[in-house]
Amino acid sequence: MRIAFLTAPEGVEEIELTEPWKAVARAGWNPRLVSTEAGRVQAYDHLDKAGTFAVDHVLAGDTSDAFDALVLPGGVANPDALRMDERAVGFARSFFEAGKPVAAICHAPWTLVEADVLRGRTLTSWPSLATDIRNAGGTWVDEQVHVCDATPATLVTSRKPDDLEAFCAAFVKEFAAHRS
């Protein structure tokens, strides 16, 4: 399985990228770093610069066709930048339209708010997104991890880095269940 990890060029929370990436690799799947710019993505440890990661694929009007599932890592700046880029928003939306599973942690659901795919869904996130999620037609819950099997695509969400172990286990299970 090819799993897209969508990030902005700067601002992704490093641990929310690296731990899910490792979970995908342990499952024997192919993680691919997708971004809006070529080169390297600058990750952060909260507000401090951390590592950089090579971009595998640059968005240019892409859809989910080349991928089996999508992971949206958080960080505050990362999803805030992505939701302002129509290529990123359209890319995320295309997974829902194709019925492919999506996993999002922390602030990452901001991109999904902009993609208008949360109506009728229940999800969790960093608590400050609760109003945005409700305004987008979703139901926000304060849970370590939440799996929403609403049609057409499964959405796995989690609140924060402390929830990464449960988040990774949940999305790997759901992605495996949707394997083509």
Question: Is-contact 160 178, C-beta < 8 A?
Answer: no
The question of whether 46 is a catalytic residue gets the answer no
Question: Which residue, among 7, 21, 17, 3, has the nearest Cα to 176 in the 3D structure?
Answer: 3
The question of whether 106 is a catalytic residue gets the answer yes
d(CA 107, CA 73) in angstroms, rounded, equals 8
Catalytic residue among 106, 146, 148, 168: 106
Residues 6+ apart with CB under 8 A from 27: 1, 172, 175, 176
Catalytic residue among 46, 57, 107, 168: 107
Token pair recorded at residue 13: 């929370």
Q: Tell me the catalytic residues.
A: 106-107
